[in-house]
Amino acid sequence: MLNERFFSEKLMRWNIEANNRVMPWKGEKDPYKIWLSEVILQQTRVEQGLKYYNAFIRAFPTVKSLATASDDKIYKLWEGLGYYSRCKNLISTARYVYQELNGKFPPNYDGLLELKGVGGYTAAAIASFAYNEPRAVTDGNVYRVLARFFGIGSPIDNPAGKKIFSKLANDILDKNNPALHNQAIMDFGAIICKPRNPLCSNCPINNNCYAFKNDVVEELPVKEKRMIRRKRWIYYLVIEYDRKLYTRKRTASDIWENLHDFVPIETRKEVKIPSLFKSRQFLELFTTGSYEVLHVSSIFRQQLTHQDIAGQFIRIKTQRPLKLENYMLLSQKELSQLAFPKFINTYLKD
């Protein structure tokens, strides 16, 4: 209890005297803007998310403007941010709030949890920042700070461990100033108690920090699960007919859902391009043989959270239209209005 009080007092003092971290959503009370910032920052560095947040606020200053916009316009603005399921949930929730809740976000933690894509962390952030409800946030910064200072060896990525951290975070929360306290501990984790090269020598609580005193800073927090990465090879056929390209919107529950791409041939491993031209998938597309290969790209790669994507782009010109279900023939101008995954955009800008 004494250590918990010491931690909270020192944290709040640091926040007043030394925390100069500036972000446009700090001090924000509008639940829409807080929600938008939290969705954008899920699994995204602040440096990257900041420009997207500002762009979204300019384009969609209210939940109504976001809810009534077209999917393609929203995805285009999200393009490059990754984790596109967030964008799908963003659209769904905005429309639900606008259409079913008269444009007003639920005014408490329990109500916020009912929204699609809103978990405990996001609900606590909105509830505390917008409504001053005493709910502790527990993001990666908070896990790291608590694990190191209090010497908690429980994994942060299993239910039992999360329960321990959640209880501690709520125990030490300043109930009179939950928004200020939550922002302070997140900023502390981002500025002082960083994942790599933390500023331990300048830390105002290092004398009481378990990890610092026991030289285990780099070992905390603990993660239980080992990520298994899937490797995929995708060869994209960029097929031109009548100065337009065959393009589709991806609808399957897979990577890049709701983004656009060209005609893919996916293989389990790398294949040589001459062998690809002899494959069943390729020959079924070009039954007449009336095509010309214009260009074969070098190998492109993209690393996702659980997958490594590699492949090439083959530019092909055909003299006859192809029978491609769910594909559209689009001009370059039309393509520029659509959202593509980073893997394809890198090729297009190459």
Q: What residue ranges in 166-283 does DSSP mark as E strands?
A: 230-241, 244-249, 260-261, 263-267
Residue 310 phi/psi, 5° resolution? Answer: -140, 155
For 129, the token pair is 């920042």
Which letter does DSSP use for residue 227 in this model? P
Let me know if 168 is exposed, middle or buried by CB neighbors in 10 A (0-12, 13-18, 19+): buried
In the DSSP assignment, the letter for residue 225 is: P
Annotation says 218 is catalytic: no
Q: What does the block give as tokens for 318?
A: 């055909």
Tell me the CA distances in angstroms from 28 to 15, 36, 125, 154, one per residue in order: 17, 11, 11, 33
- Strand ranges (E), the chain: 230-241, 244-249, 260-261, 263-267, 291-296, 300-303, 307-311, 313-318, 328-330
Q: Which of 38, 114, 257, 270 is catalytic?
A: 38
Active site (catalytic) residues: 38
